[in-house]
Structure 1
């Protein structure tokens, strides 16, 4: 089992950006979710971290408890929550625990995901339903469940955000198939981002989506999408964490309804030297992520 890479310390320009804010992150035990939780904690936030992994897995590094310890060491107050995001009562309970511990919710990050790339002919409906429940339904459910607290955050001038890991919508058939079921789930939540941004704009709540332009060194890439060769052509999850921090600190009243690539968010903020994010510095070309035109 590989050990998760440490998340770099924040620069002086990001320290304190989220002081006093409360961030709720799903899929936070590893990968991009873990990196975002640690980055938000380092920026001063209270962080509630939701995941299902309580015990070490032979192929998947980290648990909710190890990730929470890392996030707390970064500087913020952390609440680890073991929950199945497909379960309505579990989500309601996670929201309530977060509010009871920290007094409210200012930022929701929908990171948890399920990947299974199979053709429409081959995929089982059980697997199809599993992906829809995690990738599309759960972010919508969490947005609804957290809405009263996000509205209160907006009323207090606290700049609330919902951020979901989902791609810009590209209808090139070669990007959608094989993997139609996965595409339906991820594009579905991107559509929800656009619609909820329109609905929540009057409340002062931003709703945006973020997606990596290149493959990211995650368990999915290591185990399902190419192994060590793909990892060598990937970036670390820190690029998504840095882009996420920029997004959730942008003005909620105006910067909303966007489906964005991590590279573009960084470039818009003057960060164009991305070599620091490569897993293997100086290696060959980076691999495009799913739903990205070559």
Structure 2
């Protein structure tokens, strides 16, 4: 199924996984609203809402760059309204924006705690809530959050409880909203990578170039997201998808293109349940 003519609203899509999902949709001819905070070049991070819009247009889509801090209810409402005005509606809402700090309890200052919860959990709730009235009018509406499976094991919390709480807050939005809006035919799902993905977060927070060399590219997440959006919304909701498993269901068996040059084990991502690792023959080295 093509996403031609569909409208995607993506939070934090000026770089990384969010932008790659946008570019995959743009190749189909989709409309993409990029709602993110970066309007001017950042000294350490690539991309702005304007460079992202240029890339989307070059890929074959239509783009609407929107300066938006998803911690602000007013800005989110204005961003969604601008998207509807520009493209006539919203078909897909993608909660991609996220804040990360992998520190223990005593090392986590409350300013950073608040940021992670405001962006991750509250931001996902707010963006979803604001898009839902428009999604109810769409033909095949989807909400997709870049959030992990709800695997309640202490190992996912003990070294970075504040981040885990904020990230699982996104997952709980998925769990609750999928049931709440099932009768409206809105698919509400989460997607998470099996392996670490080569993004600015990995390079700046998790281990730099050494970690990047054992990661997959964001294209695997984008291809998985595209496959999810192509599924009938009423038959595809309440799932905590893992990127590789989605693509295996689509018949993909060769994943080498997503990890060019990697010959050994890949770095496994946080929050991947043990039973998922048992289902794949991908050689993964967990970083927890």
TM-score interval w.r.t. the shorter chain?
A: over 0.9
TM-score relative to the length of structure 1: 0.91
CA RMSD of aligned residues (A): 1.1
Taking the aligned partners of 2:46 and 2:127, their CA distance within structure 1 comes to: 26
Distance 1:213 1:122 in 2: 28
Tell me, in whole angstroms, the C-alpha distance in 2 between the residues paired with 1:240 and 1:43.
17
CA contact (8 A) 1:232 1:283 kept: no
CA distance in 2, matches of 1:210, 1:219: 19
Which stretch of structure 1 is more off in the superposition, 173-182 or 159-168? 173-182
- 2:202 is the counterpart of 1:217: no
Counterpart Cα distance in 2 of 1:56 and 1:167: 30
1:1-294 equivalent positions in 2, closer than 5 A: 17-153=2-138, 158-278=139-259, 280-292=260-272, 293=274, 294=286
CA contact (8 A) 1:176 1:291 kept: no
Q: Distance between the aligned counterparts of 2:83 and 2:147, measured in 1? A: 24
2-side partners of 1:174 and 1:196: how far apart?
27
Helix, strand or coil at the partner of 2:181: helix
Give CA-to-partner distance per residue, 1:79-98, whole Å, 9 cap, x none.
Answer: 01111010000000000000
- State the SS of the aligned residue for 1:287: strand
Q: 1:185 and 1:264 mapped to 2: Cα distance?
A: 25
Match of 2:278 in 1: none
- List per-residue Cα deviations over 1:186-221 (Å, max 9, x = no partner): 111111101100011100100000001101010000
Residue 38 of structure 1, CA deviation: 0.8
Following superposition, the deviation at residue 175 of structure 1 comes to 2.1
Following TM superposition, by how much is the alpha carbon of 1:58 offset from its aligned partner in structure 2, in angstroms? Answer: 2.1
Deviation of 1:172 (Å): 2.0
Determine helix, strand or coil for the equivalent of 1:253.
helix
Q: How far apart in 2 are the matches of 1:77 and 1:205?
A: 24
- Is the 2:213–2:262 Cα contact (8 Å) retained in structure 1? no
Which residue number corresponds to residue 7 of structure 1?
A: none
Please list every run of at least 4 consecutive aligned residues from structure 1 whose deviation after the TM superposition is greater than 2 angstroms. Answer: none
2:237 match: secondary structure: coil
Can you give the 5+ residue segments of structure 2 that lack an aligned partner in the other structure? 275-285
The alignment's TM-score, normalised by the length of structure 2, stands at 0.93
CA contact (8 A) 2:31 2:62 kept: yes
Instruction: Figure out how many residues of one structure are paired with residues of the other and give that number.
Output: 274
CA distance in 2, matches of 1:291, 1:256: 20
CA contact (8 A) 2:12 2:97 kept: yes
